[in-house]
């Protein structure tokens, strides 16, 4: 259900009211009995259930596109870079300096 914002013209309080789209707008303030005006604001709503996320029930084309977006995995066949110095060599250089 959408949330609508109302303002009382008498006491200047604002209210957020959850109403069905088919309900009539409020006209009387529940606090002071003054006249209520519906404000023009962006409505808010919540998407619940399955199928609202791109990972839910993707089609075959969507699966292919999602796989293409994934970063490439590094090849396991490549050998690691050779080390140029060892811990013992580093310690000897520090002592001689």
List the chain domain ranges. 1-61
Query: What is the band of 75 on the pLDDT scale with cuts at 50, 70, 90?
Result: low
CB atoms under 10 Å from CB of 4, counted, come to: 20
Which listed CATH number (1.10.8.60, 2.20.28.10, 3.30.70.600, 1.10.3210.10) goes with 1-61?
2.20.28.10
pLDDT at residue 27 tops 90: yes
- Please give the helix or strand (H or E) that residue 88 lies within, else none: helix 87-96
Mean pLDDT score, 40-61: 68
Confidence (pLDDT) at 81: 61
Mean pLDDT score, 70-87: 62
Cα–Cα dist 46/91, whole Å: 62
Contact 16, 3 (CB under 8 A): yes
Q: Structure tokens of 76? A: 């396991």
Q: Whole-prediction pTM value?
A: 0.43
Q: Structure tokens of 25? A: 């707008």
Residues 6+ apart with CB under 8 A from 97: none
- Please give the helix or strand (H or E) that residue 17 lies within, else none: strand 14-18
């Amino acid at each position: 259900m959408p949330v609508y914002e109302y303002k009382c013209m008498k006491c200047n309080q604002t209210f957020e009211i959850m109403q069905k789209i088919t309900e009539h707008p409020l006209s009387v303030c529940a606090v002071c009995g003054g006249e209520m005006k519906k404000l023009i604001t962006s409505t808010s709503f919540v998407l619940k259930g399955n199928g609202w996320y791109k990972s839910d029930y993707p089609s075959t084309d969507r699966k292919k596109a999602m796989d293409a977006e994934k970063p490439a995995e590094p090849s396991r066949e490549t050998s690691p870079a050779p080390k140029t110095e060892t811990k013992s060599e580093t310690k000897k250089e520090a002592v001689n300096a």
